[in-house]
Amino acid sequence: MPDTTRTSTATIDAPTITGAVRLDGVTKRYGTATAVDDLSLDVQPGEFLSLLGPSGCGKTTTLRMIAGFEYPDAGDILISGRSVLNLPPYRREVNTVFQAYALFPHLTVAENVAYGLQQRRVPKAEQRERVSEALDMVQLRAFADRKPTQLSGGQQQRIALSRALINRPSVLLLDEPLAALDRQLREEMQLELKLLQARLGTTFVFVTHDQAEALSMSDRIAVMRAGRIEQLDAPDTIYAEPASAYVASFIGQQNFVHGTVRADGDAVDTSIGVISGRWGGEKVAAGQPAVAAIRPEHVRLERGQGTGVPGRVLGVSHLGETLQVAVRIGEDATFLSRMPAPTAPRVGVDDEVRCVWSAVDARLFAADGIPTTATHVITLPKGGGR
């Protein structure tokens, strides 16, 4: 239960901020473990914001505190300019959609959608009208008399969305709602969800560990690590300009090469040579460990003599419009190259190639912060140039 002796530590005075969410120095502990650590965040009205990160980073705990299912040990939470610390979930301007849908199997689709209106004692005539509108919104009015078990996973998810939106919340909270769907259906639902949010103008706070979901739907992404926000930016900024090795590894794929910062400060000595690049985040002092990161789409393959890092083709994957090639470098390292299929060189297993990239496409980071969940990590030992 909330601590009724606590008071708000922040206010938002403007009267036109319906749907705004503010977390001000929020901390949540479970025993000696800190799940959310002094987190501050502003979600703008009508924004689609995703909390992205691996299991245990604090994203779901943050969502549950906004919803009122958990209460912070410190800090304040404001919705539409008012503190909700002492409000139970049903009195907050939010609704939540869960991964498991949480539909009532014994009720029809229409009865499931109407449930929230019934709890608020909305007149029957208004209930029927709003249920019809809500089902039209997700294109499922024809299924009103069916039971949830008679629907597909995607249809059940749309019913859950309809039920959550029928009470017209200022903020919709979504806790990995697409995780149980197969890939094709998940991609279709991503588009539907984004179009629905844009049409309604409702503030969406979306929790996911799936980078593709976050990149495809969000206005902004908060990449979380150990209960804090590592970077908060638009998807294209986070992808192109990651603020740390952790963010670089979690968003998209990377070729990482460990090394030591050179005296000039803008290059790293590695076992495959000197790699120059631009720093992401804080610059590391000369002589200290660092890591260079090059995305596969920035690595092109060339044959014959010339610049670049020599290697031998391990495998070739055809990904529709792109060709992905894994190249063995040395004894135990692999580089990925991803090129447009029409212009990619035709290579096969065991072909000798050179991996070439531009220094402007390489990023340099402090060596810590690369999670074990990174999609593709090169663990070349640090050392001098070739």
pLDDT by residue, tens only, the chain of 386 residues: 444 444 444 444 444 578 999 999 999 999 999 999 999 999 999 999 999 999 999 999 999 999 999 999 999 999 999 999 999 998 999 999 887 777 889 999 999 999 888 888 888 899 889 998 888 888 888 899 999 889 888 888 888 888 888 888 999 999 988 887 788 878 888 888 898 898 889 999 999 998 989 999 999 999 999 999 999 999 999 999 999 999 998 888 899 988 999 998 999 998 888 999 999 988 999 999 999 999 999 999 999 888 899 999 999 999 889 999 999 987 777 899 999 999 899 999 999 999 999 999 999 999 876 654 444 444 444 333 33
Clarify whether residues 202 and 314 are in a common domain: no
Clarify whether residues 313 and 383 are in a common domain: no
Clarify whether residues 190 and 285 are in a common domain: no
3-state secondary structure of 33: strand
pLDDT confidence of residue 81: 93
Clarify whether residues 351 and 364 are in a common domain: no
Whether 162 and 108 have beta carbons less than 8 Å apart is answered as no
> Is residue 339 in a domain?
yes
The DSSP output letter for 81 is T
How crowded is residue 75: how many other Cβ atoms within 10 Å of its Cβ?
Answer: 19
> Is residue 13 in a domain?
no
Clarify whether residues 47 and 70 are in a common domain: yes
Clarify whether residues 214 and 286 are in a common domain: no
Of 323, 326, 367, which is closest to residue 341 (Cα–Cα)? 323
Question: Residue 339: which domain range?
Answer: 300-356
CATH code: domain of residue 344: 2.40.50.140
The total of structural domains in the chain comes to 3
> Is residue 6 in a domain?
no
Clarify whether residues 109 and 226 are in a common domain: yes
- Tokens standing for residue 322: 């792109």
- Tokens standing for residue 34: 């800190």
Query: pTM of the prediction?
Result: 0.85
Clarify whether residues 87 and 178 are in a common domain: yes
> Is residue 329 in a domain?
yes
Dihedral angle, C-alpha 183, 186, 188, 192, nearest 10 °:
-170
